[in-house]
Amino acid sequence: MITLVQLEYIVAVDTYRHFAQAADKCFVTQPTLSMQIKKLEDYLDVVIFDRSKQPIIPTKAGERIIEQARRVLAEANRITEIVDDINNKIEGDLIIGVIPSLAPYILPLFIGEFTRRYPGVNVIIKELLTNQIIDQLKKDTLDVGLLVTPLNDIAITERILFYEEIVVYHNRDHNFAGYDFMKPEDTVSPDIWLLSEGHCFRSQAVNLCSIDNEENNNNLRFRYESGSLETIKKMVESDGGFTLLPELAVSEGMAHIKHFMQPVPLREVSLVYSRNFAKIRLLGLLEQTIKESVPPKMLKPDRGDVVEWR
């Protein structure tokens, strides 16, 4: 007979790709975990993991079995969710992954209010790149992600939260100072500062401005790779040039900001989660709190056109 414990063990090994680490995460000894997985393999008459590889990887058959195991465990976890709903309990861990170009601006708006409303929820925040968030969602090491969509990934469900306007921030001596409004073609320039590779906002800037990565930064005194919009803002101020910023990164009364002509370019920010996600009620409460924390105008999808990045 197949047990939920055995399914938990194979999912853990798939997640951490190491028997000892998986055993530690499951709070059992490695021999116990290994014995239960071998017992499951014998029962199914199939090898789930290729133990000759380092790190350990699932076999082709194992991949399909583990995928189904994740679904089964998610459905089992929903029983607890149903009971919590009946008893009106809102508690447990909630692990949230947030991309770096969003975290410093959105977290201060909602996280304090959310934890005050739901003190029984233990919120854990991880700042990660988009691809890392997607990978960890699929491995169930994250509950939800806060990132830029659309992702166009059938394994991920997206709940749109709001739409941020994308604007230009330039040095005070830049020729953009004389512009009233920007057009995307105005920003095709080698004196633009961009986030480093792997950041979705960099990809949006490249798509919006039709930038050739090989030409980028030719007019700047040095090439600088950064994962921080705040650092790039400082570089614009001290060393010239310009950059693109999402709306939440623009502080009230900030000078040297230029808006694009209609249609205004937007980035779409969403809550995303794996289709196996079980804490649907908690997700809804998180979504509600975030939407209440941003300016109402940012909830409107008709304020411009979304710039895709994938």
3-state secondary structure 192-216: EECECCCCHHHHHHHHHHCCCCCCC
Structure letter (DSSP) for residue 185 = G
Mean pLDDT in residue range 286-291: 97
**What domains are there in the chain, each with its CATH number?**
4-85 (1.10.10.10), 89-162+266-306 (3.40.190.10), 164-265 (3.40.190.10)
Among candidate residues 238, 255, 298, 308, the one with its CA nearest the CA of residue 109: 298
Helix (H) or strand (E) segment spanning residue 144? strand 144-149
**Integer CA distances (angstroms), 217 to 194, 200, 204, 242, in order:** 9, 19, 17, 11
174-185 core/surface letters (b: 16 or more CB in 10 A; e: else) = bebeeeeebeee
Q: What is the pLDDT of residues 33-86, one digit of tens each?
A: 999 999 999 999 999 999 988 889 999 999 999 989 988 988 887 787 777 767
Token pair 């991920």 is found at: 156
What is the pLDDT at residue 81? 74
Contact present, 288 and 161 (Cβ < 8 Å): no
Mean pLDDT in residue range 271-295: 89
What is the pLDDT at residue 217? 46
pLDDT exceeds cutoff 70 at 259 = yes
Q: What is the pLDDT of residues 176-235, one digit of tens each?
A: 999 999 998 888 888 888 888 778 888 888 888 766 544 444 455 555 667 789 999 999
Rounded Cα distance between 37 and 8, Å, is: 10
The tokens of 180 are what? 């009233």
Contact present, 239 and 258 (Cβ < 8 Å): no
Cis omega (within 30 of 0) for bond into 119: no
Contacts of 60 (CB under 8 A, 6+ apart): none
Q: What is the pLDDT of residues 20-35, one digit of tens each?
A: 999 999 999 999 999 9
Rounded Cα distance between 3 and 72, Å, is: 11
The tokens of 159 are what? 């709940």
What is the pLDDT at residue 278? 67
What is the pLDDT at residue 221? 52
Mean pLDDT in residue range 104-115: 96
Contacts made by residues 284-291, CB under 8 angstroms, sequence distance 24+: 285/90, 285/114, 285/117, 285/118, 286/94, 286/96, 286/114, 286/144, 287/159, 287/161, 289/110, 289/113, 289/114, 289/117, 290/106, 290/109, 290/110, 290/146, 290/161, 290/162, 291/161, 291/162
In this structure, how many other beta carbons lie within 10 angstroms of the beta carbon of residue 85? 12
Contacts of 109 (CB under 8 A, 6+ apart): 248, 290, 293, 294
